[in-house]
Amino acid sequence: MTVKVVLRKAGGVDCVGVAPMNVEDPGKGEVRIRVVYAGINFADLLMRMGFYQPRPDYPFTPGYEVSGTVDAVGEDVTELAVGQRVVAAMRNGGQASFVNVTETRVILLPDDIPLDVAAATPVTYLTAHHMLHHLGHLEPEHSVLVHGGAGGVGTAALQLCKWAGVTKIWATSSKGKHHVLTSYGARPIDRHKEDFASVIKNETEGRGVDHILDPIGGEHLRRSLSSLAEGGRLYTYGLSAAAPSGKRSLIKALLAFRKTPKFDPLRLMTRNRGVFGVHMGTWSNETVMHRQLERIMAGIQQGHLSPVIDRIFDANEVQAAHQHIHDAKNIGKVLLRFHDDEGSEQGAGNAA
């Protein structure tokens, strides 16, 4: 059955499911992709809970990234053809059996990159690459702190640091995931038992670090800012502090929002520090996005980058996939499967 994931309303994991969908012809400049894999990101969970913007009105289909094959092409499409293997960065709506997407947001896949690897790439690697390279101009002598180092963006960032020759790297995670961090050359920090700000202060002799990636927000973001070196850059790209579990809690969310620092431009100026907000789903310069995706794919082909896939859920298991991420069980990327590579479709249980 041809299906799409639907977020029906703001709430817990019971507010997400799958529903039948109509397959529409691609418009001018669009291609239709038969989706094999679609990525799930923490942003999808926050949108389900009503804590993430921008998002469409409920009900809607989430999903920022897909891989599969071109199923149809619209008028004026010149670079892609039916049957080609592709990966696409979506503005939303990717978690479906078929999607229509502008040709400029689609990358033709080399034969040696599997579809699951491709689907694990756009959001996590684009976000990490955009922060560290496009905005941060990462250099080998720089130092980096990656919060959530064992997650999708975290493992991508650590691999990008290693590729760039960076050796001064710290990363936070639960202790059970420290082996992942050390495998990429990072000094692990136990997020439950160690104060990362004290670790950074002590181990940099008070200087701080040049780049900090923070998807947590709230009070955590303030402490990250205090750990920056002169000329350092803090990248904020999430608010997981607003959703510490799979249940929707307005009180916890409001506390996280209230504790999020209000940045003072004069204070940032006098201390020579910068804060970037990053959301690749709203990034509109497709030329920049396309160029970064091509470099990432080249890095995979050359062996510098290797997307970490934690688990693949069938589309009808989307509730379990959301809970798996809420419980912080994943190391790397979580994917949804809508077709297999032989052409059959996945089931449509948990109908929305």
3-state helix, strand and coil shares in percent for the chain, rounded to the nearest 5 = 35, 25, 40
Neighbours of 125 (CB within 10 A): 29
In a domain, 352, yes or no: no
Q: Give the range of the structural domain holding residue 116, as residue numbers without chain letter.
A: 3-121+307-337
Residues 246 and 221 in one domain: yes
Residues 154 and 186 in one domain: yes
Dist. CA 33–CA 27, nearest whole Å: 13
In a domain, 117, yes or no: yes
Residues 103 and 170 in one domain: no
CA nearest neighbour of 321 among 17, 8, 9? 17
Dist. CA 157–CA 55, nearest whole Å: 26
The last residue of one of the domains, among 277, 295, 327, is 277
In a domain, 344, yes or no: no
Three-class SS of residue 14?
helix
The answer to whether 35 and 96 are in contact (CB under 8 A) is: yes
Dist. CA 64–CA 96, nearest whole Å: 11
In a domain, 291, yes or no: no
Domain count for the chain: 2
Residues 61 and 38 in one domain: yes
Residues 108 and 176 in one domain: no
What's the pLDDT score for residue 253?
56
In a domain, 87, yes or no: yes
Residues 190 and 312 in one domain: no
- Average pLDDT, consecutive stretches of 10 residues, N- to C-terminus, the chain (352 residues): 93 94 96 97 87 86 96 95 95 96 92 94 94 98 96 95 98 95 97 95 97 88 93 85 54 59 76 88 86 93 94 97 90 94 48 44
What's the pLDDT score for residue 54?
79
Residues 24 and 58 in one domain: yes
CA nearest neighbour of 171 among 121, 213, 111, 229? 213
What's the pLDDT score for residue 250?
54
Residues 115 and 137 in one domain: no
Dist. CA 350–CA 352, nearest whole Å: 6
Residues 180 and 322 in one domain: no
Residues 60 and 192 in one domain: no
Neighbours of 28 (CB within 10 A): 10
What's the pLDDT score for residue 181?
97
Residues 99 and 137 in one domain: no
Residue 50 sits in a domain of what CATH number?
A: 3.90.180.10
Dist. CA 60–CA 213, nearest whole Å: 29
Residues 64 and 113 in one domain: yes
In a domain, 327, yes or no: yes
